[in-house]
Structure 1
Amino acid sequence: MEDVEPHIIEAVELKDSSDPLRVVKDVAAGTCGGIAQVLVGQPFDTTKVRLQSAPPGTYTGALDVVQKLIRTEGPFAFYKGTLTPLVGVGACVSVQFGVFEGMKRFYQRQNISTGSSDGLTYTQYYVAGSMAGLANSILACPIEHIRIRLQTQTAASPKQFSGPMDVIRKITHSSGIAGIFRGITPTLIREGHGMGVYFLTYEYLVNRDMAKNNIARTDIPGWRLCVYGGCAGYGVWLSAYPFDVIKSKMQTDSIDPKTRQFSSTIDCARKILQTSGINGFFRGFLPTILRAAPVNASTFYAFELAMRAIG
């Protein structure tokens, strides 16, 4: 892709580089985005995880999951395990946005020091997003692991975990601290590539809007920010979804290493392919793609509003 023209990079972004509270502001705004993401996305995520992790034939599709969950466990079951992501995803998204905004400023300074424009190339946007995703993976992997263990408990089976701390206690007792990070490899791939596409898509659309309409970032209407955030959500899942399936399979495997189905990321991918074919890597895709637009629209909208409010 072509470089971003210098005139569409806001002057305020360069001044922000000297703000001693800039990182704190980025993280705070990211936390707002993360909270919005969890509240909007948790029902979709619970549906997705049930589809991804259940044995073949358990559900006929996303609607079947929703109907059975409401009938057997009640509507509040969609928010099982919400406490962990509400705290954790807020932290994850704050890391994502904090690292991404920091990388943008790094590239701006680098471009200026080498005599080129202060605009970022789209390659730089992708790398900045990838760095944000990789940094986030260290938090996202254990948080999602704990959440998935709670989400996949059903009323029809004996309750294995009483809450997030019980999940942590039982996993570490069985597998040590490393057990909490089960699925870290597919998480790193999903986040590294997926977040690169995610932020690249959003920034491309925002920059295009500013250039086309000759307006500042803060003048973009909220509804258009929501559209751009939704498109970013589609971008990440269309580019990285199979790795999310592999991660979910590994994180819903037995907590006892002796009785696990999957010995590694490659072994998990091979067995999914053997038992379900290519379609197995896209189980739960429908609720995920339906979730992508509202969840990421709310994430970016909350982030941008918070940034405008705190400066």
Structure 2
Amino acid sequence: MTDVSILASLLGFAPGAVGGFCSVFVGHPIDLVKVRQQVGTGAFKAPADSAATALAATRSFGGNSTFGMLRSIFLKEGIHGLYCGVQAPLLAVTPGFAVSFWSFDFAGKSIRDYNRIARSDELSLKHATLAGGFSGIPLALILGPTERIKCLMQVEKGKYNGFFDCARKVYKEGGMRSVTKGTFSTALRDVPGNAAYFGSYEYVKKLSCDLEGREKASIMGTLLAGGCAGVGNWIVAIPFDTVKSRWQTAPAGKYKSVLDVLQTLLREEGPSALFRGLSPALLRAFPANAACLLGVETVRSLIENR
């Protein structure tokens, strides 16, 4: 492999890496609220079987709404509290998004070659959705273990002294099997989620170009398409994400499997519990993914121009 081809391969990961960083920076505080709503805790980890007490305390500080919990966390824990567990997504989402966007481009190229589609032509909605679903597989392999650490740090506030301390303790408790707990459920979330994500993005971006009479989307068009992509992703992925969060934060032995989590949740709390955390997820999705896709497209343009 020549130096030029090696450099080209490395640059192929750059847009997604920048996009991932932008997404985490903008969206992490609201993701914190989403996880705590999904697993039933307030601003701090409550003792076993006393999640209701924690939620009551949170309501007294601003309610159990997304903005109420953000206010509660900020007042009780400060700015640092809003970015609790941010090390995990920064260490995972940046390379994860790099691999995800690279995988999407790779799948798109393979689809073009198989169907003899010119590189200059846009992928159809069906093909973009298919390539997006494929990109969720390597993304889940990277995000699964770090999602486990992130969720534990967000829920069990004060128990861990940072990302590596949490990872060390989780490994000590159950080895690599404990660290990778939830990787399969992460894939169940990311494959359909990414299919909706990239499908929505390509559709809205094309629609924006048609309305503006442009060949390439404007900055506003990219922001709109990116925001809609994030919303589309979470509408599809939130039930899987709720099950994943419960599975990854549950004490050892509480559930037998991911399916047991789903059955227990439906039996005890009803189908609506699957969509707990949807409000903060959607609230986070638009700005975080607008920033993400703007970063991706900006870096792609810089690379293409050079």
What fraction of aligned residue pairs are identical, expressed as a percent?
A: 28
Matched residue type, 1:265 = V
Matched residue type, 1:127 = L
Q: Quick one: which of 139, 160, 175 aligns to 1:136?
A: 139
Q: For residues 48-105 of structure 1, what are the alpha-carbon distances to aligned partners after superposition, in whole Å with 9 as ceiling and x for unaligned? A: 1111112563433323422332232223201012122112210111011010011112
Q: Distance in 2 between matches of 1:200 and 1:86?
A: 25
Q: Quick one: which of 53, 65, 80 aligns to 2:69?
A: 65
Q: Name the SS of the counterpart of 2:116 in structure 1.
A: helix
Q: Name the SS of the counterpart of 1:74 in structure 2.
A: helix
Alignment-derived partner of residue 258 in structure 2? 265
- TM-score under structure 1 normalisation? 0.84
The aligned length equals: 283
Alignment-derived partner of residue 84 in structure 2? 80
Shift of the 121–307 alpha-carbon distance from structure 1 to 2, 3 Å rule, reads: same
1:157-196 aligned within 5 A:
159-196=158-195
Does structure 2 retain, via aligned residues, the 8 Å contact 1:85–1:143? yes
Task: Provide the alpha-carbon RMSD of the alignment.
Answer: 2.2
Q: Distance in 2 between matches of 1:201 and 1:23?
A: 26
Q: Distance in 2 between matches of 1:20 and 1:151?
A: 38
Deviation at 1:20, TM superposition (A): 6.2
Alignment-derived partner of residue 308 in structure 1? 301
Does structure 1 retain, via aligned residues, the 8 Å contact 2:29–2:70? no
Deviation at 1:119, TM superposition (A): 4.8
Note if 1:248 corresponds to 2:252.
no
Q: Name the SS of the counterpart of 2:214 in structure 1.
A: coil
Note if 1:145 corresponds to 2:142.
no
Deviation at 1:110, TM superposition (A): 1.8
Does structure 1 retain, via aligned residues, the 8 Å contact 2:104–2:135? yes
1:20-169 aligned within 5 A:
21-54=7-40, 57=52, 58-59=54-55, 60-112=64-116, 119-154=122-157, 159-169=158-168
Matched residue type, 1:34 = G
Alignment-derived partner of residue 58 in structure 2? none
Moved more, 188-197 or 80-89: 80-89
Shift of the 288–74 alpha-carbon distance from structure 1 to 2, 3 Å rule, reads: same
Shift of the 224–214 alpha-carbon distance from structure 1 to 2, 3 Å rule, reads: closer
Q: Distance in 2 between matches of 1:86 and 1:93?
A: 10
Matched residue type, 1:30 = G
Does structure 2 retain, via aligned residues, the 8 Å contact 1:225–1:301? yes
Deviation at 1:183, TM superposition (A): 1.4
Deviation at 1:26, TM superposition (A): 2.5
Alignment-derived partner of residue 234 in structure 2? 237
Moved more, 74-83 or 224-233: 74-83
Q: Distance in 2 between matches of 1:148 and 1:27?
A: 26
Q: Distance in 2 between matches of 1:41 and 1:101?
A: 24
Deviation at 1:121, TM superposition (A): 3.1
Q: Distance in 1 between matches of 2:83 and 2:208?
A: 36
Q: What residue ranges of structure 2 are gaps of 5+ in the alignment?
A: 42-50, 56-63
Alignment-derived partner of residue 10 in structure 1? none
Matched residue type, 1:280 = A
Runs of 4+ in 1 over 6 A off after TM superposition: none
Q: Distance in 1 between matches of 2:129 and 2:5?
A: 25
Moved more, 66-75 or 220-229: 66-75
Alignment-derived partner of residue 6 in structure 1? none
Q: For residues 162-212 of structure 1, what are the alpha-carbon distances to aligned partners after superposition, in whole Å with 9 as ceiling and x for unaligned? A: 121222222222222011111122211110011011001111222333455
Q: Distance in 2 between matches of 1:186 and 1:198?
A: 18
Q: Distance in 2 between matches of 1:235 and 1:86?
A: 23
